[in-house]
Structure 1
Amino acid sequence: MSRLKSIKSVPNYLEGKIISEPVHDYIRIKTFEEIESFQVAHIPHFHELLYQFCYITEGSYTIEIESNKYLLAKNTILLLKPGVIHASFEHSKDLQGYIIHFSHDFFSLYASVNNFFKDFMMKDYSVFFLTEQLMDEDAQFFRMIFKEMTNDYKSPEYMKNELLKSFLNILLLKMYESYEIVQHSQSNSAATLFMKFLNLLDIHIRKWNKVSQYAKVLNISTDYLNKIAKQEGNRKAGEIIRDKLVLEAQRELIYTDKNISEIAYQFNFTDTSHFWKVFKKNAGLSPKEYREKFK
Structure 2
Amino acid sequence: MRKFIFEKRKYGFELLMDLHRFEGNPNVFFDPAPHTTDFFEILIFEKANGKIELNGQLLDIVENSFFFISPFQKKSCKIDLSGIRGFHLVFQNDFLSDFFDDKLFTYRLQYFYNSQHPQYVQLENEDYRVIRFALDEIITEIKNFQNDSLHILRPLLYFSLSKLNRLFSKRYNISPDTQSNSTIYKFKELLELNICTIHSVEQYCSFLNVSRHQLNAMAKEHSGCTSKEMISNRLLQEIKMELRYSDKTISEIGYALNFSESNNLTRFFKNLEGISPSSYRDNYQNDSD
User: Where on the TM-score scale, by shorter chain, does this alignment land: which range?
Assistant: 0.7 to 0.9
Shift of the 276–96 alpha-carbon distance from structure 1 to 2, 3 Å rule, reads: same
2:280 is equivalent to residue 286 of structure 1: no
Residues 61 and 72 of structure 1 are in contact (CA less than 8 Å); yes or no, is this contact kept in structure 2?
yes
Shift of the 176–51 alpha-carbon distance from structure 1 to 2, 3 Å rule, reads: same
Aligned to 2:263: 273
Residues 81 and 128 of structure 1 are in contact (CA less than 8 Å); yes or no, is this contact kept in structure 2?
no
Aligned partners of 1:221 and 1:205: how far apart in 2?
20
Aligned to 1:7: none
2:137 is equivalent to residue 153 of structure 1: no
2:235 is equivalent to residue 245 of structure 1: yes
| Residue 226 of structure 1: how far off its partner (Å) | 3.0
Residues 64 and 128 of structure 2 are in contact (CA less than 8 Å); yes or no, is this contact kept in structure 1?
yes
Letter in 1 for 2:82: K
Q: 1:228 aligns with which of 209, 218, 222?
A: 218
| Residue 99 of structure 1: how far off its partner (Å) | 0.4
| Residue 279 of structure 1: how far off its partner (Å) | 1.0
Aligned to 2:215, what secondary structure does the other structure show?
helix
Aligned to 2:10: none
Aligned to 1:130: 120
Residues 25 and 103 of structure 1 are in contact (CA less than 8 Å); yes or no, is this contact kept in structure 2?
no
Q: 2:2 aligns with which of 6, 11, 28?
A: 11
Shift of the 278–173 alpha-carbon distance from structure 1 to 2, 3 Å rule, reads: closer
| Residue 62 of structure 1: how far off its partner (Å) | 1.9
2:76 is equivalent to residue 87 of structure 1: yes
Shift of the 46–232 alpha-carbon distance from structure 1 to 2, 3 Å rule, reads: same
Shift of the 193–88 alpha-carbon distance from structure 1 to 2, 3 Å rule, reads: same
Shift of the 53–255 alpha-carbon distance from structure 1 to 2, 3 Å rule, reads: same
Aligned partners of 1:72 and 1:251: how far apart in 2?
21
**After superposition, where does 1:109-128 map in structure 2 within 5 Å?**
109-111=98-100, 117-121=106-110, 125-126=114-115
Shift of the 288–64 alpha-carbon distance from structure 1 to 2, 3 Å rule, reads: same
Residues 111 and 119 of structure 2 are in contact (CA less than 8 Å); yes or no, is this contact kept in structure 1?
no
Aligned partners of 2:29 and 2:40: how far apart in 1?
20
Residues 57 and 97 of structure 1 are in contact (CA less than 8 Å); yes or no, is this contact kept in structure 2?
yes
- Give the structure-2-normalised TM-score: 0.81
Letter in 2 for 1:290: Y
- Give the stretch that moved more between structures: 214-223 or 153-162: 153-162
Moved over 6 A (4+): 112-116
Residues 116 and 183 of structure 1 are in contact (CA less than 8 Å); yes or no, is this contact kept in structure 2?
no
| Residue 110 of structure 1: how far off its partner (Å) | 4.2
Aligned partners of 1:229 and 1:218: how far apart in 2?
13
Two-structure CA RMSD over aligned residues (Å): 3.0
Tell me the alpha carbon deviations over residues 82-101 of structure 1, each in whole angstroms, 9 at most, x when there is no partner. 22211111336322011011
2:133 is equivalent to residue 144 of structure 1: yes
| Residue 34 of structure 1: how far off its partner (Å) | 1.8
Aligned to 2:40: 51
Shift of the 79–199 alpha-carbon distance from structure 1 to 2, 3 Å rule, reads: same
Q: 2:177 aligns with which of 183, 187, 195?
A: 183
Aligned partners of 2:279 and 2:207: how far apart in 1?
36
The answer for unaligned runs of 5 or more in structure 2 is 8-13
Letter in 2 for 1:231: E
Residues 104 and 186 of structure 2 are in contact (CA less than 8 Å); yes or no, is this contact kept in structure 1?
no
| Residue 12 of structure 1: how far off its partner (Å) | 1.0
Aligned to 1:42, what secondary structure does the other structure show?
coil
Residues 62 and 91 of structure 1 are in contact (CA less than 8 Å); yes or no, is this contact kept in structure 2?
no
